Amino acid sequence: MSKNQNKEVDGNSTAINESAQRLEAIKNLIFGENIQQIDAEFDSIKNHIEKRKEEIEALIEDTHKELSTTIDNLSTDLNIRITELEDKVNEKTDELNHKKVDRNLIGSLLVSMGEKIMKD
């Protein structure tokens, strides 16, 4: 940067500082002693909001963990039940292979399986 550009930057910086000081002086004239109380209230509200935000984020995380655990448990339970059902169907099929095929027996087994599926 050239010397003229440095002077312009320094001049702009000084002007900004003077403007901020004027603004602060005007704010003090308008609000007077109440500004400290207002600032304290804003800080209190800001802290309260931040605390609530952290609590909500923790609650969301806990809920996510619980839901994941519940989904995993349901998936495991469902897989166990499906496996048990497959084993029972295979067992009954093996029994039928060794016996003469009886349409009444097959029909009653299918009805029984349907009723059990509807109950669960």
Helix (H) or strand (E) holding 120: none
Q: Give the pLDDT confidence score for residue 98 in this predicted structure.
A: 62
What whole-number distance in Å separates Cα of residue 77 and Cα of residue 11?
74
- Tell me, yes or no, whether 4 lies in a domain: no
- Tell me, yes or no, whether 26 lies in a domain: no
Of 87, 92, 90, 86, whose CA–CA distance to 109 is shortest?
A: 92
- Tell me, yes or no, whether 3 lies in a domain: no
- Tell me, yes or no, whether 22 lies in a domain: no
- Tell me, yes or no, whether 52 lies in a domain: yes
Express as a percent the part of the chain with pLDDT over 90: 35
Please state, in angstroms and as integers, the Cα–Cα distance from residue 96 to each residue in 14, 52, 67, 106, 109, following that order: 98, 65, 43, 8, 11
pLDDT digits (tens, 9 = 90+) for 70-112: 999 999 999 999 999 889 888 887 776 665 666 777 788 888 8
Domain span including residue 72 = 33-119
Contact residues for 74 (Cβ-Cβ < 8 A; gap 6+): none
Instruction: Give the total number of structural domains in the chain.
Output: 1
- Tell me, yes or no, whether 109 lies in a domain: yes
What whole-number distance in Å separates Cα of residue 113 and Cα of residue 84?
12
- Tokens, residue 61: 């995380």
- Tell me, yes or no, whether 89 lies in a domain: yes
Q: Give the pLDDT confidence score for residue 51 in this predicted structure.
A: 97
- Tell me, yes or no, whether 25 lies in a domain: no
Contact residues for 85 (Cβ-Cβ < 8 A; gap 6+): 113
CB atoms within 10 A of CB 66: 10
